[in-house]
Amino acid sequence: MKPHPYLRAYMAGTLVPTVFVMFVACGYAFIRYGLGLPFAIEKGLIFPVAFVPNLFGIWNVVYTKLHQTHHIALGVHGALLPFVLGPLGLLVAFSVGLAQFHDGSLIYFQAIRVPYGVLAIGFVCALIVYYLVWKYVVGYLNEVVGVA
């Protein structure tokens, strides 16, 4: 038996968002500084860079612990994560001034008007993506490090 299963689960969980955020940050740096386009979202990058990978890791540790007594599918467990990340992300966006309510039916992210219906569709899409990422990618990483 390999020691430290929760540490290995944490590391397997943090890999996916860390790599994804790295590509997003590189793309942002290229658009902002390479092409010189005024696309300022520095305040909004702090949440995904600092918090999301850690929460993915903690969520995988929780799955590893729960899987010992309850048999919930990894994809379903991962699909529950947007219910935590969504409200936290909105809280951060409102706190740093990236979002605000307007007219009771729209929400603004900088200069973009997003109707609530589009937010709901985006949330459902996030649930699907998270399910697939957790089922296939995080599941594979859990097998590699031996915590599956």
Q: Nearest-CA neighbor of 141 among 4, 7, 13, 6?
A: 13
Most confidently modeled of 44-48, 90-94, 112-116? 90-94
Burial of residue 119, with CB atoms counted within 10 A of its CB: 0-12 exposed, 13-18 middle, 19 or more buried = middle
Lowest-confidence range among 1-10, 36-45, 138-147?
A: 36-45
Which pLDDT band holds residue 132 (cuts at 50, 70, 90)? very high
For the chain, the average pLDDT equals 86
In the predicted structure, residue 41 carries a pLDDT above the cut 80: no
Q: What is the mean pLDDT of residues 46-71?
A: 89
HEC assignment per residue over 36-76? CCCCCCHHHHHHHHHCHHHHHHHHHHHHHHHCCCCCCCHHH
Retrieve residue 14's tokens. 């943090």
Confirm if 147 and 9 have CB atoms less than 8 A apart.
yes
More confident position, 40 or 143: 143
Sequence-ordered list of residues with C-beta below 8 angstroms from that of 92, at least 6 positions apart, any chain:
44, 46, 47
- Rg over alpha carbons for the chain, rounded to the nearest Å, is 17
In the predicted structure, residue 6 carries a pLDDT above the cut 90: yes
Half-sphere exposure of 97 (CA within 13 A, CB side): 3
Which pLDDT band holds residue 96 (cuts at 50, 70, 90)? confident
- Rounded to whole angstroms, how far apart are CA atoms 53 and 13? 8
In the predicted structure, residue 111 carries a pLDDT above the cut 70: no
In the predicted structure, residue 15 carries a pLDDT above the cut 60: yes
AA letter at 124: V
In the predicted structure, residue 14 carries a pLDDT above the cut 90: yes
Query: Is-above-0.95 flag for pTM?
Result: no
Q: How much is the pLDDT for 19?
A: 92
Q: Sketch the domain layout of the chain as residue ranges.
A: 5-145
